[in-house]
Amino acid sequence: MDITGKTRVEPDGGAVLVTGSPGFIGAALVRRLLKEMKSGTIVSLDSLNDYYEVSLKEWRLAQIEKAAETSPVKHVFVQGSIADKALVEDLFRTYRFRVVVNLAAQAGVRYSIDHPDVYMESNIMGFYNILEACRHYPVEHLVYASSSSVYGGNKKVPFSTEDRVDHPVSLYAATKKADELMAHVYAGLYDIPCTGLRFFTVYGPAGRPDMFYYSAARTLCADGTIRIFNYGECERDFTYIDDIVEGIYRVMRGAPERRTGADGLPVPPYAVYNIGGGQPENLLEFVRVLQEELVAAGVLPEGYDFEAHRELVGMQPGDVPRTWADSEALERDYGFTPRIGIREGLRAFSRWYKTYYG
pLDDT per residue as tens digits for the range 61-95: 999 999 999 999 999 999 999 999 999 999 999 99
User: CB within 8 A of 164, min separation 6: which ones?
Assistant: none
Indicate whether 278 pLDDT > 80.
Answer: no
Mean pLDDT within 242-253: 97
Residue 164 — pLDDT band, cuts 50, 70, 90? very high
Indicate whether 5 pLDDT > 90.
Answer: no
Residue 358 — pLDDT band, cuts 50, 70, 90? confident
Determine whether 166 is exposed, middle or buried from the number of CB atoms within 10 Å of its CB (0-12, 13-18, 19+): exposed
Fold (topology level) of 6-203+239-279+324-339:
Rossmann fold (3.40.50)
pLDDT digits (tens, 9 = 90+) for 285-340: 999 999 999 999 999 999 999 889 988 887 777 666 678 789 999 999 999 999 99
User: Which residue is catalytic, options 172, 203, 213, 334?
Assistant: 172
Indicate whether 29 pLDDT > 90.
Answer: yes
Q: Where are the domains of the chain?
A: 6-203+239-279+324-339
Terminus-to-terminus CA distance in the chain, angstroms?
A: 39
Q: 152 versus 30: which is more confidently predicted?
A: 30
Establish whether 172 is a catalytic residue.
yes
pLDDT digits (tens, 9 = 90+) for 106-163: 887 778 878 899 999 999 999 999 999 999 999 999 999 999 999 987 888 888 899 9
Q: pLDDT value at position 115?
A: 86
Indicate whether 42 pLDDT > 90.
Answer: yes
Q: pLDDT value at position 28?
A: 98
Indicate whether 231 pLDDT > 80.
Answer: no
Q: DSSP code of 268?
A: P
Indicate whether 232 pLDDT > 90.
Answer: no
Average pLDDT, the chain: 93
Indicate whether 255 pLDDT > 90.
Answer: yes
- One-letter identity of residue 25: I
**What is the C-alpha to C-alpha distance for residues 216 and 294, in angstroms, rounded to an integer?**
11
Q: pLDDT value at position 351?
A: 98
CA–centroid distance for 282 within its chain: 21
Indicate whether 1 pLDDT > 70.
Answer: no
Indicate whether 350 pLDDT > 80.
Answer: yes
Confirm if 145 and 127 have CB atoms less than 8 A apart: no
Q: pLDDT value at position 82?
A: 98
Q: 156 versus 257: which is more confidently predicted?
A: 257
Q: pLDDT value at position 26?
A: 98
Q: pLDDT value at position 319?
A: 67
Q: pLDDT value at position 229?
A: 82
β-partners of residue 41 are 15, 74
* pTM for the structure as a whole: 0.95
Q: ∠ CA(58), CA(61), CA(63), 5° rounding?
A: 115
**What is the C-alpha to C-alpha distance for residues 358 and 354, in angstroms, rounded to an integer?**
5
Q: pLDDT value at position 56?
A: 97
